[in-house]
Structure 1
Amino acid sequence: MPDYPIDEAAPIAKSLLEHSKVTLRRKMPNFGQWLIDNNLINQATKYDYDLTPSGESSLRPYMVKNYGENWDSPIDSKEERRASFLKNRLVNDLPAQLHHRVAQAVWTGDSKSSTRSHPDNITAVSCDTLRIRTAEAAVFHFTDWSIHAENSMHTMGELIFNQRAVDQFTALETNKPLHIMTIENPGAWDTLPLLPRVLYVYVPGNNQSIATEWLQKLDQFSWSHFGDLDQKGLKIAKQLSRNLNEKLELFLPAWWGEYIDLYSLKTGKSWNTTSYRKLLTQFPILIELQNKQLRLEQEAIMLDKLFLASLKQHIKSFFKDR
């Protein structure tokens, strides 16, 4: 059994035997290193290697001995060989939906690959979950079932939907217009007091996709975002605003600046404020944080005695004319 796969060794050997040289620009292949170690090739330039006299006499016999007489015949690509292999190994009834990591591992050989190669009739899904909290008696309708918010809130304290449920979501039934508030961090999302006419959606900064997908399915709602006061927090808010096609509204209590002295954290670098000029004008606290290379976490203000009144006022502002 040869030490090196033929799809690695054959192209290098063919180039050397046909042209007496080979170019190896990427990380040195193991077969290339073996040729160097055994004095079959010498380095000519940074990337070019020449066949040595020893290589001229021994490379072809080595290839025939280890890979057979037809070692230099065209080789099926790894993708072609994998497709042939799968014809005999896959189950007969492939699932209509499959986790994207499984799909990538089966059809590309790498669960983290970004290359889409699974069959078109399979929908790749994730294990992301949509997490919601609300005091409203809303009903979430799906293709074949419905969920009453009151029941889930009573038993679990939240509503949790996976990707399959979000894909089948059809409508949100409410008695009155609701305000949607997206929350960056789970601590703040879990601690926020439940108020009438408001629905809190947890939107982690590193993955907004499932929440955004669900919100885009809603017909009408007002929206604002509550997150950390730092570069990342503003970026999350702006991305949501763009994806939802909604005006960027932040929940940022006027007294939050009083926390800078005792609760601010060093960022180590200045904020890039080019994209946030309007917010800087609207909220001077952001200018101070930017100038001093500081940030504030939203969790730190959750128990402030002024918090509830500020939150109520913020929510009320979206229902002035309703």
Structure 2
Amino acid sequence: MRAQLQSLVLVTIAALLLPSGAWAARPCTGETVNFEYRLGDVRYDGPDPSKNNGLATIAASLQTSTGTPVFECVAQWPEQWAGWFEGDNKPVWADCIFTGAADAQDDTVSFAVDWKTKTIYLVHTFGCSDKPGSVGLATGSITLDVTCITSDDNSYCVPEAPEGAVRPTLNIQTKLRQVPTGPASACDEAYSLYHGWVVEGWLREIEMLPGAVPTTPNIVFDSGPSFQIKNVASGDMLSCSSAGKVNGTFAGACEAVDEESSTNAEFQFDTELNMLEITQRWTCGGGKALGIQGVGYMQGSCGRILGTDRFRCTSLPVWFGTGIV
């Protein structure tokens, strides 16, 4: 099982090559707008002693009401973080990868885990069937009772089942949180929508020594990532590119596509942990400023560039936010 999880995380994922834009829309109006995913296989694996990297792996499957897997969710972080960036107050968001199943209705699906409380948080974005051009964002969470098994060479946790019984059906209920009607000023005190980003156009080129494999890549060239971000609350769009690397971490800046915008951003990408940290700031009136931060675990699909020893790594759009929602 551990090898299967690591394979999901570290090697090329064919599902990422599926064309985007194939999803149906969801309604975004009504007194209460709720959605539901069935939670399939869930498993937490502690660090693999043979790898000596201290990384824990969490994986979950999101299914339709009939049990069809629609998204597969996988994330890794240092065990002591327990799902929080550097163990602090920012959750590590990770994308759930589309399986290609028919009738999926979301553009992006992401999850975060508070392993101390055994809580899984889910966020998904989608086009509004009744508000063309608008994007809805829905959030939900579930807290699990788990059974953990530890041995000298293995430790893992799975949802608890009553003695002699199969595991009960687990569902994550989500609720429509917001539907921005258009760009809004992030400096407006009355503006209280939750800030998060959709990361699009992810591009990174790497070159590995001959004979290297994704689990031990031995990278000799790395361009660092370039990408675009869209703030799903304010509507700001920024273009980001790497400026340099220090001790395995790339740093870069993001410039607003709209030259008259009062916002800018910066990022850091840790190539060892695949962690992308974004900080966005706005210049407000009266000498005031607003800043937000968020962290995402970035996976990618890599394919060889024809006629070269380099690989081009890309990703479908990924959502991550600035806190627990």
TM-score interval (norm. to shorter): under 0.3
TM-score w.r.t. structure 1 length?
0.22
- With structure 2 as the length reference, what TM-score do the two structures score? 0.22
Which structure dedicates a bigger proportion of its chain to strand? Answer: 2
Relative to its length, the structure with more helix (as a share) is: 1
